[in-house]
Structure 1
Amino acid sequence: MTFYVFSQLILNWYHFNGRKNLPWQKDKTLYKVWISEIMLQQTQVKTVIPYFKKFILKFPNLKFLTNSTLNDILYLWSGLGYYKRAKNIYKTSKIIQEKFNGKFPRNISDVLKLPGIGKSTAGAILSFTLNYSFSVLDGNVKRILIRYYGILGCSKNIKTEKKLWNIIKNITPIHNTGNFNQGIIDLGALICTNCNPKCEICPLKKNCVAYKEKAWNRYFLEKNKTIKLKKIYWFIILRFKYKIWMEQNNTKNIWNNLFCFPSFEKRKYAIEWLKKNKINFKKNKTINSFNHEFTHLKIQAKPIIIELLFQQKIINIQKTGIWYNLKKPQKIGLPKLVEKIITLLI
């Protein structure tokens, strides 16, 4: 099958079956598509939709976003994960304001210099909004190419990435690029799925190697084998009536800039912290521990509730702390794990 026929099959399929009513596809702008593409990095569409709607309601355009604080963005991002994306959005908004007069750039080289935007994301933004002829290569597209061409032993490395980029660049049509890109992404998300693909209704099945061999599970992108670290964290929840103490995390880890409870890898360190801060309390209670997983880390959380005699001052060197109001919560960025603990306190 020629590249032209391949792309035409995708375009025909998209015309009748593709997704055309996603929130960021309505009244499409460079700004909206940029926000959606950043949110969609490593996150499914169904998860992103409610976050995107809230985000656009609060920040309908770049002007509103530029006038926001990082904490404003993190507050709306709470629970979506991969918080570096939120920080990249904040940094990008400032760059656009300073270097591009508050307007999202239209030149591919300028777009690629923005934080958190790689070749595929840049291609998606410019092709979906301006129909520029740039390819996309997300996980859905990679899966289709590997199965269609019967590429075995694909490891997640630079060599494979280069090979797949060469293929998709040849397939991507000069005209109707935006529809083609959305179509091949949709085909991967809806038909050529990771497990149990709907091969019988796939427009590419006639020349697909995986379909011919009836062995779609032989062709996949091998992920780098990573062993999840396992850690125990003791979380100190200082509580006075309906307020709890939180600190903004200034260390460069998974919760950078988010508000968290004081946490310690050993119980003895938690006790030392209480003594150092001369915490006066009437009672303490340990909540049942629970597990919380990240892509690279598994945490066993052990929350300890400390009921205070009064709302005392906490030594908070190089950190910003607040007394978080459970009845009238402040608008701050919170990790999912912290949100889980809060639900146990209400």
Structure 2
Amino acid sequence: MEYWKFSQLIINWYHQHGRNNLPWQIKKTPYNIWVSEIMLQQTQVKTVIPYFKRFISKLHNIHILASTSLDEILHLWSGLGYYKRAINLHKTSKIIVKQYNGKIPDNIIELIKLPGIGRTTAGAILSLSKDFSFPILDGNVKRILIRFYNILKNSRNKIDTNKLWYLINMITPLHHASKFNQGMMDLGSLICRYKTPKCKICPLYINCQYIKNMSQKNIINNKKIKKEKQYFYIIVQYKYFIFLECRKNKKIWKNLFCFPEFKNEENMNNWLLINNIDSINNQKINLIYHKLSHLILKMHIFKISIQNNKIFSKNKNYIWYNLNNPQRIGISKPIKTILLTL
């Protein structure tokens, strides 16, 4: 199929079936598209919508975002996951305010240099907000191209990304790139789904190699088995306050607040001993399995009550979280869930 026919089929389908009432589409500013695209990285639209609405209602322009504390931003992001996205969003807002007078660059080379903005995100910002002819290559678009052109994995068991970029560059039209890009994302999300694709109502059905080569299903659905890691957490409670540490130097949930974390129960008991806390009274209250993108956390949760909250005065990266009047800080979803039960 000629490239122009491919793009025209997508644009025609978008006019009839595409999504055009998403919150960030109502007011297509570069800022709104940027925030939405960062949130949508590895996250479904239905999950993002309430977070986007809450985020924009509080931080409705880049100047407010840049002047807001990271704790407040992480608080608004809490539960959405992949918290590095929020940290990069904050970093980039400061750079744009300082170096570009608060205007998001419309030069793709300058845009890609900013933290958290890669080639796909930059293309999405410029095409969806300004209708510039730049391609995007997110997970939905990749899946369509892989299936339609029957692209197989190479000797290293990987898909050739350069080939995908070549194809999407050729297919992306000079005019109406915004409709084409949105149509590709919508088609991948609604029709060419990861599981149970709705092939018979797809506009690309007749020429799609996926239909002719059903073995491709085995390639696309070949998921890696996630590793499992276990950690031990101690809930230290003083009256209606909970001791939380800021995870400054952690890879998982960096800069979020969490219960003290340990690799094993022995380390946890040693920590209690060093801080003059009676480890005999600690009680295991739960075992939680929490799925992340690359591993599964096996979380052993212990709890202990103390009578004196002065014992951690030497630790600067902590707060006493007020259960009755919670502080606005970043907290991961499983920790937030536990706090709500206390």
Normalising TM by the smaller chain, what interval? over 0.9
Over residues 94-128 of structure 1, what are the superposed CA-to-partner deviations in whole Å (9 max), with x where a residue is unaligned?
A: 10011101111111111101111111111011000
Structure 2 SS opposite 1:270: helix
Over residues 134-191 of structure 1, what are the superposed CA-to-partner deviations in whole Å (9 max), with x where a residue is unaligned?
A: 0011111111111111222368988610001101110110000010000011111111
- Aligned residue in 2 for 1:285: 283
Aligned 1:183-194 pairs, distance under 5 A: 183-194=183-194
Structure 1 SS opposite 2:151: coil
- How far apart, CA to CA, are the structure 1 residues paired with 2:163 and 2:218? 19
* Equivalent in 199, 221, 245 of residue 247 of structure 1: 245
Shift of 1:218: 4.8
User: Which is further off, 304-313 or 21-30?
Assistant: 304-313
Shift of 1:236: 1.3
- Aligned residue in 1 for 2:300: 302
Q: TM-score, normalised by structure 2?
A: 0.94
- Aligned residue in 2 for 1:232: 230
- How far apart, CA to CA, are the structure 1 residues paired with 2:155 and 2:79? 30
Over residues 288-317 of structure 1, what are the superposed CA-to-partner deviations in whole Å (9 max), with x where a residue is unaligned?
A: 222122122222212221111233330544
Equivalent pairs, count: 342
Change in Cα spacing, 1:285 to 1:55, as seen in structure 2 (3 Å) is same
Aligned 1:1-346 pairs, distance under 5 A: 1-153=1-153, 160-213=160-213, 217-218=217-218, 220=220, 225=224, 228-279=226-277, 283-317=281-315, 319-345=316-342
Q: TM-score, normalised by structure 1?
A: 0.93
Shift of 1:267: 1.3
Structure 1 SS opposite 2:11: helix
Shift of 1:93: 0.6
- How far apart, CA to CA, are the structure 2 residues paired with 1:174 and 1:259? 47
Give the aligned residue type for 1:241.
K
- How far apart, CA to CA, are the structure 2 residues paired with 1:343 and 1:276? 29
- How far apart, CA to CA, are the structure 2 residues paired with 1:215 and 1:228? 24
Contact 1:249–1:259 (Cα < 8 Å) also in 2? yes
- How far apart, CA to CA, are the structure 2 residues paired with 1:286 and 1:251? 26
Change in Cα spacing, 1:315 to 1:234, as seen in structure 2 (3 Å) is farther
Q: State the percentage of identical aligned residues.
A: 51
- How far apart, CA to CA, are the structure 1 residues paired with 2:219 and 2:16? 27
Shift of 1:235: 1.1
Change in Cα spacing, 1:287 to 1:252, as seen in structure 2 (3 Å) is closer
- How far apart, CA to CA, are the structure 2 residues paired with 1:207 and 1:97? 47
- How far apart, CA to CA, are the structure 2 residues paired with 1:312 and 1:13? 64
Give the aligned residue type for 2:34.
W
Change in Cα spacing, 1:132 to 1:221, as seen in structure 2 (3 Å) is farther
Listed as ranges, the gaps of 5+ residues in structure 1 are none
Shift of 1:232: 2.3
- How far apart, CA to CA, are the structure 2 residues paired with 1:141 and 1:237? 44
CA RMSD of aligned residues (A): 2.0
- How far apart, CA to CA, are the structure 1 residues paired with 2:319 and 2:124? 40
Shift of 1:231: 2.5
Change in Cα spacing, 1:158 to 1:303, as seen in structure 2 (3 Å) is closer
- How far apart, CA to CA, are the structure 1 residues paired with 2:160 and 2:240? 54
Contact 2:141–2:185 (Cα < 8 Å) also in 1? yes
